Amino acid sequence: MTDLTPEQNAGQSWTLDLDPASTRVLVNGFQSWSEAELQPLTATQNRPTFVWMQEHGHDPAFLPGSDEEGGEAGVWRSHTLIALVRPGGGGYVGHSLDESRSSAHWEARAEGSQVRLTLWVEGPAIPLVFTETDDVISTLEALSAQLGHNMAARTPAPLRVWCSWYSYYRDVTLPQMLENARLSHEKALPFDVFQLDDGFQADLGDWTLPAAHFAGHAADLPGGLAELGYAAGIWLAPFLAGPNSELFKAHPDWMLRGQDGQPLPIGHNWGGPYYGLDTTHPEVLGWLRELAREVVSWGYSYLKLDFLFAGALPGVRHDPSKTRTEAYRMGLAALREGAGDETFLLLCGAPLASSIGIADAMRTGPDVSPIWDDDARRVWLHDATGPAARNALHTALSRWYQHAWYQPDPDVMIAREVQSMLGSTERHALLGLLDVIGGLRASSDPISSLDEDGLILLRRALELSTPDRPITLETSFGAAVTHFRRGTF
């Protein structure tokens, strides 16, 4: 085993005696929605065709698959760790052991009859390990556990959550939330939390202002839920601001800026561009602390904090001495301080390893949706980070070792037959694979949409039967192969 010294962090490369044709590579994406996968080294890593797809899934400073559109055969990029697997399960593992200040970027490249591995560390030197092993899976588990330990991973119990997003999307209202909770109570469904998602807010950044379309105020929900025995959860994208929001108008100087000194549009959604807060700015940190404190004071004990990658993007910041990772963690720490130690924080769209120690749970894949596979986007546009059951499961399964970092959230089960294109086999496949992954259990089905079969599936999905440690990679992929309708997972 090689413990890499700080001097070696600067840019290290190895030529490995591995036959590219028989080697598989395990990669981990930048944030929750980015692809993670185990693939033949000679295959091609997806690089999404359109910039708007890259914006929501990838680190712009380290896009997958070299510079060519659609990626390049035999070139694989990975964040934090990488594994190269020989037939039989031996091979090499490279792993960062601390991602609180710097982050490790790895690239494996097929070169003739050998494999070239390169490491870049962004930020000050950090402890890293690069090792040859007879058993990649055990080594990866052990090194990931070490990273979790070094960063004081939190170890909460998993929760059972009803979330409004995958049925109501942005049309959610206060009466609908309460009606679902009432019906759930009537049927004695074992949810712990009812979580309000995107749609209640006046604008991105204007989280506390009333919004007519929600038919009430988010502050009014927790009381009604408590009467029914449920904890209250709420979605925030705390590092984002919409261009028409009061937040943006009042504080343009709080935004991450481009080289021209102007606020930098960092993505497109909600019908236009959005901006990101500069989490090294002391006033922003104060605002984040106060936001989390206020929402908790309304009665919310579960916060789903989304689009957090915005805090870790390249850009000009108030404090240029901070690395992207440090800037991100400063923003996250401010939210934790405001929310308090007891509040459950589920992170989403979030850089993965650099969240350890602050996150209770982490979305470890892209969104589930009521379609199995978005073939057009995945196959033709090289983007498997979009919403689809297949994409969500594929990536969440490929991050099985991250249970040592936080509770994984593989996203919701869809048990309903209405408003869904999933067939019966696909619903059961989704159920089986979510069970394999473990972690949070969630549903978004309107309770009134479930018939007897649907209720049976939902109850099964909410059973926290999986041990805290998911079963091994081989077993996961065995299950995947058994369950997958097309066998093309």
Spot the catalytic one: 59, 192, 197, 367.
Answer: 367
Instruction: For residue 17, indicate whether it is catalytic.
Output: no
CB of 206 to ligand 9PG, least distance (A): 15
Which tokens is 442 given? 């969630």
Least CB distance to ligand 9PG at residue 178 (A): 20
Tokens at 477, concatenated: 């992929």
Distance CA 208, CA 201 (A): 7
Q: Judging by DSSP bridges, how do beta strands 361-363 and 344-347 pair with one another?
A: parallel
Shortest reach from residue 56's CB to ligand 9PG, in Å: 3
The CB-of-201 to ligand 9PG minimum distance in angstroms stands at: 11
Is 367 tagged catalytic? yes
Contact in structure between 118 and 9 (CB atoms under 8 Å):
no
Q: How far is the CB of 170 from ligand 9PG (least distance, A)?
A: 7
**Exposed e or buried b per residue across 88-125, where buried means at least 16 C-beta atoms within 10 angstroms of its C-beta:** eeebbbbbbbbbbbbbbbbbbbbeeeebbbebbbbbee
| CA dist list (Å): 15 to 28, 118, 375 | 21, 9, 36
CA separation for the pair 44, 24 (Å, rounded): 12
Out of 306, 360, 409, 411, the active site residue is: 306
Q: How far apart are CA 466 and CA 404, in angstroms?
A: 15
CB half-sphere exposure, 244, CA atoms < 13 A = 5
Q: How far apart are CA 252 and CA 48, in angstroms?
A: 31
End-to-end CA distance of the chain: 33
The residue ranges that bind ligand 9PG (CB under 6 A) are: 33, 56, 165, 197-198, 235, 269, 306, 348-349, 367
By annotation, the residues acting in catalysis are: 306, 367
